[in-house]
Amino acid sequence: MENSLKLIAGSMVTLSFATCALVALPFLQLKDVPAPEALKPYSPGQARGRNAYIANGCIACHTQQPSTTGAGIADAQRGWGRASVAADYHYDSPPLLGTMRTGPDLFNIGERQPSEDWHLGHLYQPRLYVPGSVMPGFPYLFEIKNKAETTKGDRVVSLPEGAIPDGKVVVAGEEALNLVAYLTGMKHNYPVLTPEEAKLAALRKARVPTND
């Protein structure tokens, strides 16, 4: 009985230290980090697209956290941009960091691939754009119509020749358009604030005078 109590007490102490080191302290260090000036809040469409990103399980296969290292090739050498920092996720709750890279990192996908047409077509059928891709298509986010039945408000997707039967078109649904707005808006190409700059920005935001 005594050994069991010691084991439980030791486990609780270890868990407490781990929680403080991995959760509480980082939160206290980062909770007041301001957003970089160039980072803008999500538009309503992008916010809905972020929800669609979550709902469709994109986080299961994609990360949003380029680093200075990689599996043989550093992320910067892949063209994925600089390593991410806490301030980059100021408007994300929760941050969609991800844990697997079955597909590429998407932190700067709007910079690497800004074409809305490409993203819509890729969502509809990935292998039309990336041969051998293991990404599933999302055809339920689109509607196939007769070309003659399209209306002025329809967003017809530009697909490679032969992708659909003659006389038919693929029309993007609102969820697909919002998701693409979210993806193309991911452009974290601004300079990163240094700790001193972050402190000064936080003081300016709070309108607290400095001694400088």
Q: In this predicted model, what pLDDT tens digit does every residue of 86-138 receive, in sequence order?
A: 889 999 989 999 988 899 999 999 999 999 999 999 999 999 999 999 999 99
Identify the DSSP state of 135.
P
Cα separation, 53 vs 156, in Å, equals 21
- For all residues of the chain together, what is the average pLDDT? 85
**What pLDDT sits at residue 12?**
76
Domains along the sequence of the chain with CATH: 32-123+174-206 (1.10.760.10)
CB 48 within 8 A of CB 180: no
Reading the block at residue 139, the tokens are 């055809």
172 bridge partner residues: 142
Q: For residue 14, what are the CA distances in angstroms to 1, 2, 36, 111, 159?
A: 20, 18, 36, 43, 56
Query: What pTM was estimated for this model as a whole?
Result: 0.79
First-residue to last-residue Cα distance in the chain = 62
Residue of 16 and 155 predicted with greater confidence: 155
**Whether 173 contacts 141, CB under 8 Å:** yes
Q: What is the mean pLDDT of residues 166-192?
A: 94
Under DSSP, the state recorded for 92 is -
**Within 10 A of 1 (CB to CB), how many other CB atoms are there?**
5
Residue 109, H or E segment: helix 109-112
